[in-house]
Amino acid sequence: MTTGAGGVGSGGGRDAAGSAFDLGRLHPRLAEEYRALAMAEADKKATPAEPSAGCIGALAFLMVFLVIVLRFTPVWIILAAVVGAVAVAQPVVRHAHVKRRKRHLRDAALRDTATLKRLLPTLPCVKAKEAEAERGYVEVVRALLDAEGLDAATVGTILTEANGLLDDAIALRKRRELIARASDGHSAEWRRAEVRSLEKRVAAATDPGTRAALQQSLDLSRETLRATEELAVAAERVEAQQEAILRAFTSLRALLGRLAIATAPLAAPGLDQMRSLTANVHDQTRAVEQAVQEVLNLRAGS
């Protein structure tokens, strides 16, 4: 459960969590979208500006040079040369200025925890209808940015555990999608009704050929019902585990509240409890994934 590249910013003591936060430890699913959104917002602010003082000084020097060196040249030629130089230089200077400003604003946006806190809830992967886990993760990160007294090591530990929970949630979502694709769209209750209807028709049939054909259909329907029930059970297990992950995110936020008001240098038992919680969720997720895969394999082989 160690998703996220890079290391947490170093620094001892009980500093504010925001200053110890390293964007490189943010879950890749959110980090990529955040970088793109933050840089796009920064680019909008990098509007063209007037030529810098250095550019104006350089043009003034050019004009003086022309006056001194070309003192016998008619004034209108000198003015034409200056105007031409300004016309050529100004777009170049503007472009360079905007480029520098974009770079500066992008760097500032990626370092600014207030921007991170503001933009995280607006990311497409967080606003998606099925993104309950991403929203739970964002709430943990926002609480982490608000917390006081958390050193870099603790911030890194909490982010690592939160990243692992989000990895589990994404894996379960993929399993649920596989279950949906394996299903034919009919519920188990609909299948049971189909079986009951075929059983009545088999019992009422008097012609041996008709009865044999109906019995074959009944056997197939019963097999389909069994597979549908197994898929339904698998889907219920996935849903229950997804809820467990959301509760784990809630527990992480509660832990942040306790750690933020701790007077000691952060109680190890609290962090150990968090690791134990997330490790248990991780193990349960792997067990659910394996059970779902077994059901899908049986479904594919039937």
Residues 109-132 pLDDT 10s: 566 778 888 888 988 989 988 899
Look up tokens 């995280």; give the residue.
Answer: 120
* Residues 83 and 169 reside in one and the same domain: no
The answer to whether the CB of 94 falls within 8 A of the CB of 48 is yes
* Residues 291 and 247 reside in one and the same domain: yes
Final residue in a domain of this structure, among 127, 142, 160: 127
* Residues 149 and 86 reside in one and the same domain: no
Final residue in a domain of this structure, among 127, 162, 194: 127
Question: Per-residue pLDDT for 70 more than 60?
Answer: no
* Residues 118 and 178 reside in one and the same domain: no
* Residues 93 and 157 reside in one and the same domain: no
pLDDT of residue 81: 61
Range of 43's domain?
17-127
Considering only residues 142 and 92, tell me which one the structure prediction assigns the higher pLDDT: 142
Final residue in a domain of this structure, among 127, 158, 174: 127
* Residues 159 and 63 reside in one and the same domain: no
* Residues 302 and 277 reside in one and the same domain: yes
In a domain, 168, yes or no: yes
Considering only residues 19 and 233, tell me which one the structure prediction assigns the higher pLDDT: 233
Cα dist. 7→3, 11, 91, 254 in Å? 11, 12, 41, 24
Question: Per-residue pLDDT for 283 more than 90?
Answer: yes
- What is the band of 1 on the pLDDT scale with cuts at 50, 70, 90? very low
Q: Is 13 left (phi over 0), alpha (psi -120 to 50) or beta?
A: left
In a domain, 9, yes or no: no
- What is the band of 98 on the pLDDT scale with cuts at 50, 70, 90? low
* Residues 66 and 175 reside in one and the same domain: no
- What is the band of 295 on the pLDDT scale with cuts at 50, 70, 90? confident
* Residues 94 and 152 reside in one and the same domain: no
Question: Per-residue pLDDT for 221 more than 60?
Answer: yes
Q: Which amino acid appears at position 72 of this protein?
A: F
In a domain, 176, yes or no: yes
Q: What is the 3-state secondary structure (H, E, C) of the chain?
A: CCCCCCCCCCCCCCCCHHHHCCHHHCCHHHHHHHHHHHHHHHHHHCCCCCCCHHHHHHHHHHHHHHHHHCCCCCHHHHHHHHHHHHHHHHHHHHHHHHHHHHHHHHHHHHHCHHHHHHHHHHCHHHHCCCCHHHHHHHHHHHHHHHCCCCCHHHHHHHHHHHHHHHHHHHHHHHHHHHHHHHCCCCCHHHHHHHHHHHHHHHHHCCCHHHHHHHHHHHHHHHHHHHHHHHHHHHHHHHHHHHHHHHHHHHHHHHHHHHHHCCCCCCCHHHHHHHHHHHHHHHHHHHHHHHHHHHHHHHHHHC
State the total domains in the chain.
2
Span of 42-51, 136-145, 187-196, 241-250 with lowest mean pLDDT? 42-51
d(C-alpha 224, C-alpha 183), whole Å? 10
The pTM of the full predicted model, rounded to 2 decimals, is: 0.70
In a domain, 203, yes or no: no
* Residues 239 and 136 reside in one and the same domain: yes
- Which CATH number fits the domain that encloses residue 144? 1.20.1270
Q: In this structure, what is the dihedral angle of CA atoms 261, 263, 265, 271, given to the nearest 10 degrees?
A: -40
In a domain, 6, yes or no: no
* Residues 97 and 158 reside in one and the same domain: no
In a domain, 55, yes or no: yes
Structure tokens at 120: 């995280």
* Residues 258 and 300 reside in one and the same domain: yes
In a domain, 4, yes or no: no
In a domain, 221, yes or no: no
